[in-house]
Structure 1
Amino acid sequence: MDWMEKELQDLHVGSAKRQLHRTTSLAQQPGYAIRGARTLLNLSSNDYLGLAQHPKIVEAMREALLSDGAGASASRLVTGNHQPYGELEAAIANWQNSEAALVFGSGYMANVGVISALVGRGDVVFSDGLNHASIVDGVILSRAEHARYRHNDLNHLRALLEKHRDKRRKLIVTDAIFSMDGDAARLSELVRLKREYGAMLMVDEAHGSGIYGRQGQGYCHALGLHDEVDVHMGTFSKAFGVYGAYVCGTHTLIEWLVNKARTLIYSTALPAAVVVGISSALELVRAEHWRRDHLLTHSKSFRSALRDAGFNVIPGDSPIVPVIVGDNETALQFSHALENEGILATAIRPPTVPAGTARIRFSLSAAHTEEQLTMSLGIIERLGRQMGVLA
């Protein structure tokens, strides 16, 4: 196994080596985190609505721990399908205005399980070039042909659909909001193409759930296209502040997944306490629209201020605001400099993003205040000039 040391050294030389950093969230200071001995303003979290430390969710989970114990003890098809699952899935289906819903252990497990259950050898998946790694892995494990189209390039997708129009099953899959760029899929055009070529359409709302739509149902609902999406997937680990994922669709789809999705069939169920916590979070997501208003208002002004300062910022309106730096070493140095100034903002490098597009991925939360973000913008611009990121 000596080959590992050589390859790890190569990663280090290329400023591409990753390591774990112990980080602690602060229940009494939402929007902050402790790393090492320092308290930092957290601009890297996916806790978009500021719910991860919400006392209502924490108390619901505490009570469930005392009554149901720490673990589910088995998969859902054995003895792990505890009562809170049915209640949560009914609430999700109602929230999403769909026939049925199914809870998975994580977003990764949902994407891998769903894609490999829907397609196989002889089929083809059309996947946006910037889709999440879990989608890519789901396609690989399905053994279907993988036809990747250039990011949001619908002419390229049309050409691929035309090339593969005679395939047995065709699945178009896309993120709704792309996790590293923060921009949105061109869903209206995707709907037209899926109709024209008789394809299924699956949308991953991991970074859209809770944020868009009247009750936080997601980007598809915000555009009025939810009835056109065959497989609607989202997570509870971001805006909901908990853990797990859901898939919505017809009764037939959900029944099929219960029988065919290997990541559901062969995984221990989420503990009842987690499921209860999700249910509590769902109530807050649906009712507290002010969180979305607060988040999207600050996201717009934060992105605009960075762009006006001269940073290379990808357009969008989501709380994911990436500043493209270019090379790995500069991105790491920028991140370290921000941390020294009290801001936690992680450098994202290849292979998570394409080569030459290393970046600082700022991620905002409803827990942030206008004063905190204004202070952060001043520091970011000053350091950007000192480091040569800004002219």
Structure 2
Amino acid sequence: MQSLHSQALAHLESLKKDSNYRTLTPQKHNGLTLTTQDSTLLNFASNDYLGLSNNTDFNIRFLDSALFKDHCHFSASSSRLLSGNFEIYNLLEVHLKTLFGKEALLFNSGYHANIGVLGALSALNTLFIADKSIHASHIDGLKGFKKPNLKRYTHNNMEALKYLLEENAQHYDSIVILSEGLFSMEGDFTPLRELVALKEKFNNVYLYIDEAHSIGGFGENGLGLCAHLNLLEKIDFLVLTFGKALSSVGACVLCHRVFKEYFINTARSLIYSTALPPINIARTLFAFLELPKLELQRTHLAHLSRHFKTLLQKELDYEILGDYNIISLVLGENLKAVHFAKTLNKEGYFAPAIKSPTVQKNKALLRFSLCANMQEEQLEALCVVLKKISNATL
């Protein structure tokens, strides 16, 4: 029998052989660039879609605000269910209810929200039908139960989803469809109107939409895809995360009052976690209040996204994915994706290879995360480098 140490070592060697080994490298950040031990690189791996985390004017206005001064506590020191339920949590939840028309419940991250909410719902007689490109945290939320009722459908394939609904609707008290507003790897939108139309054919189907990558950066006032399409009332569970375009930390689920009370009593990631520091909650509320003023950034981001995708499609003979601020270059093999990423590093760009299990095997890619403080010229220069790497690789 192998020792625990030997088993772990063998697994690591297997990952290295498959070009799928991960490491942590210390970094320093300065605006759009990050610096490692030996190089300064233009960062295409950040989800700071509106460029707010290093926006001096935005940050100064937050530091000068009453929100910062009145809620400047650097630790909650407790779970919300004990002594950590500071006033600012309620202020943010009330504001979110005003914006989205649903009760809001805060979590420490999108991961905490998904594992807590889906874990709690898994205790009920529920079937989950998930897009195959759904985020890992959704799947992890269902793994806590011995026999999770889970079926998958091919990415954004509404015919496959319709078949699964028709086949299973009569056998479960409820069915929850899991999808993302804007998918984190493919960068495409879910066909939300079609999802809603399918939902409404049944009386026991619920929609669970994760807008981690669309909140803040997309739609009128930056309120995401569901609000943009005026479909908020059709969405039963809406997850928003605050660590990307909103330049803060944390997440929430928006839902019916009964479900909020249910999650307060059953979501383990909420019950057993020290709450986020109040200062971070104040930062999130400040960001939501500022979103209507950031239309220029969203317009520029949309323009950059169209421009970059058009350039890549014109110059490269690879599949190019993405509908908005996430543009992906599908390379297939892990080794090829790693080669592209390492060569980009040498040319001054940071775009790590994305490999399984983040994406399906043989679907390794480079993911370019665009931010509103980038310029056309930077993307055009990157495209020239990518074409050079591609020509040398073929």
Same fold (TM over 0.5): yes
Task: Find the partner of 1:354 among 354, 360, 382.
Answer: 360
* CA positional deviation for 1:121: 5.4
Q: Which residue of 2 aligns with 1:146?
A: 150
Amino acid aligned to 1:137: D
Q: Which residue of 2 aligns with 1:319?
A: 325
Task: Find the partner of 1:206 among 212, 224, 227.
Answer: 212
SS, match of residue 220 in structure 2:
coil
Q: Sort the Cα spacing of 1:91 and 1:313 in 2 relative to 1 into closer, same or farther, 3 A.
A: farther
Amino acid aligned to 1:332: V
Q: Sort the Cα spacing of 1:58 and 1:258 in 2 relative to 1 into closer, same or farther, 3 A.
A: farther
Does 2:9 align with 1:5?
yes
Identity of aligned residues (%): 34
Q: Which residue of 1 aligns with 2:348?
A: 342
Amino acid aligned to 1:54: N
* CA positional deviation for 1:314: 3.6
Q: Which residue of 2 aligns with 1:95?
A: 99
Task: Find the partner of 2:81 among 77, 80, 83.
Answer: 77
CA distance in 2, matches of 1:5, 1:65: 50
Task: Find the partner of 1:330 among 332, 336, 354.
Answer: 336
SS, match of residue 158 in structure 1:
helix
CA distance in 1, matches of 2:220, 2:254: 18
Contact 1:124–1:146 at 8 Å: present in 2 too? yes
CA-atom RMSD in angstroms: 1.9
1:260-302 Cα deviation digits (max 9, x unpaired): 2211111110001111111222223232111110111101110
CA distance in 1, matches of 2:372, 2:72: 32
Amino acid aligned to 2:116: G
CA distance in 1, matches of 2:184, 2:72: 35
Please give the residue correspondences for 1:1-391 in structure 2 after superposition, counting only pairs within 5 Å: 1=4, 2-26=6-30, 30-55=31-56, 56-57=58-59, 60=62, 64=68, 68-96=72-100, 98-120=101-123, 122-142=125-145, 143-165=147-169, 166-197=171-202, 198-388=204-394
* CA positional deviation for 1:67: 6.2
CA distance in 2, matches of 1:175, 1:88: 23
CA distance in 1, matches of 2:391, 2:343: 12
Contact 1:32–1:41 at 8 Å: present in 2 too? yes
Q: Sort the Cα spacing of 1:113 and 1:193 in 2 relative to 1 into closer, same or farther, 3 A.
A: same
Q: Unpaired runs of 5+ in structure 1?
A: none
CA distance in 2, matches of 1:162, 1:52: 45
Aligned residues: 384
CA distance in 1, matches of 2:317, 2:217: 25
1:200-231 Cα deviation digits (max 9, x unpaired): 11100001111222111111122221111011
Which shows bigger deviation, 30-39 or 291-300? 30-39
Normalising to structure 2: TM-score of the pair? 0.93
1:71-92 Cα deviation digits (max 9, x unpaired): 1100011111112111111222
* CA positional deviation for 1:252: 2.4
CA distance in 1, matches of 2:64, 2:79: 22
Which shows bigger deviation, 151-160 or 327-336? 151-160
Contact 1:303–1:313 at 8 Å: present in 2 too? no
Contact 2:312–2:320 at 8 Å: present in 1 too? no
CA distance in 2, matches of 1:111, 1:320: 22
1:85-116 Cα deviation digits (max 9, x unpaired): 111112222222x1321111000010111112
Normalising to structure 1: TM-score of the pair? 0.93
Which shows bigger deviation, 281-290 or 364-373? 281-290
Amino acid aligned to 2:229: L
Contact 1:313–1:321 at 8 Å: present in 2 too? no
CA distance in 2, matches of 1:315, 1:75: 41
Q: Unpaired runs of 5+ in structure 2?
A: none
Contact 1:121–1:144 at 8 Å: present in 2 too? no
SS, match of residue 124 in structure 1:
strand
Q: Sort the Cα spacing of 1:221 and 1:121 in 2 relative to 1 into closer, same or farther, 3 A.
A: closer
CA distance in 1, matches of 2:82, 2:96: 23
CA distance in 1, matches of 2:222, 2:318: 29
CA distance in 1, matches of 2:95, 2:125: 36
* CA positional deviation for 1:58: 6.5
* CA positional deviation for 1:387: 2.1
CA distance in 1, matches of 2:88, 2:54: 21
SS, match of residue 79 in structure 1:
coil
CA distance in 2, matches of 1:40, 1:195: 48
Contact 1:113–1:261 at 8 Å: present in 2 too? yes
Which shows bigger deviation, 365-374 or 140-149? 140-149
SS, match of residue 125 in structure 2:
coil
Contact 2:351–2:367 at 8 Å: present in 1 too? yes
CA distance in 1, matches of 2:317, 2:260: 45
SS, match of residue 288 in structure 1:
helix
Contact 2:71–2:278 at 8 Å: present in 1 too? no
Q: Sort the Cα spacing of 1:268 and 1:65 in 2 relative to 1 into closer, same or farther, 3 A.
A: farther
CA distance in 2, matches of 1:61, 1:147: 47
